[in-house]
Amino acid sequence: MRSPLINRRNLRQIAVLLLLSLAGCGSESEPLLEETLERVYTVQPNADISIQNHDGAVLVYGANTNELQIHATKKAYSHMRLKEIAIDVSVQSATVSINTKFPPKPRWALFDRSGTVDYTIVLPATASIPQLRLVAGEVLVDGMRGPGVHAWLGDGRMLAHNCFTKIDFVLQRGNLTASYDWWEHGTFSVHADIAQGNAWAFLPSDSAFHLVAETAHGKIGNDFDNLVVEPTEASAAAKIDMLVNGGRQAEIKMRAADGDIKIVEANP
């Protein structure tokens, strides 16, 4: 009769072999394949542009232009997977839809090998983005001045940079940053709702805005009043509601269900 030690060792070896067989060949033996797509369209300056992606990145840059420039890089570990990833762009008079379609994920795979798409999109700064949706990866919105930007990310990182518009970000898990290199007095806002993760706002010293920050499980640091706010026994949440430099037109509103919020005076 074999000893229990030998049996356990054999079971471990069998488990390792099963894991290797399910995972298939390692990434070292399967080179990452890439395919690049570039398209340019003439659009109206106030066009509505919607973007949907699953895995990868969506980097959006507002510019003084009447063109929509799309640079997309598809990545996958097989030619078949690469071919199955479809980028569908629909352009009408004042409406643009950019939709990414991925092949079904292998049912028994231990790792996601279905591929990714990284977008770099240049569009009119005065355009509107009613929907930007990404399941996992990175979202960047830079230099927008249109009616608004509404973005949703499941897991990853979100960034808004120098956007003088109505920003509405929803993040399920990850980190979020809003930053301004300079300040313009006008009506614009950043609304961020994070389920699990941290948020930062980097703002110039002369910023003037209405600040609302709240976290249910975390703390809030605010350079503009040099205070750290934490939940107390009387209140289950940490919250700040104040005017910074008397500002009323602009609003920075951040809420985290589970995470910290930091308001940073970028160049005191």
* Amino acid 172: pLDDT: 98
Q: How many CA atoms lie within 13 A of 105 on its CB side?
A: 11
Residues 6+ apart with CB under 8 A from 20: none
Residues of the chain falling short of pLDDT 50: 1-6, 14-28, 110, 234
- The predicted structure's pLDDT at residue 268: 56
Res 229: pLDDT: 55
Question: Do 51 and 123 contact (CB within 8 A), yes or no?
Answer: no
Nearest to 45 by CA among 59, 65, 69: 65
The rounded distance, in Å, linking the Cα atoms of 236 and 56 is: 36
CA distances from 221 to 163, 166, 227, 259, 263 (A): 23, 24, 6, 12, 6
The domain ranges of the chain are 30-265
Instruction: Give me the pLDDT at residue 183, please.
Output: 96
pLDDT of amino acid 40: 97
Percent residues over pLDDT 70 in the chain: 81
pLDDT tens digits, 170-215: 999 999 999 999 999 899 999 999 999 999 999 999 999 999 999 9
Q: Where are the beta strands (DSSP E) in 205-248?
A: 209-215, 220-222, 227-229, 238-244
- Distance, in Å, from the CA atom of 159 to the CA atom of 176, rounded to the nearest integer, reads 6
Strand partners, 167: 149, 190
**pTM for the model:** 0.84
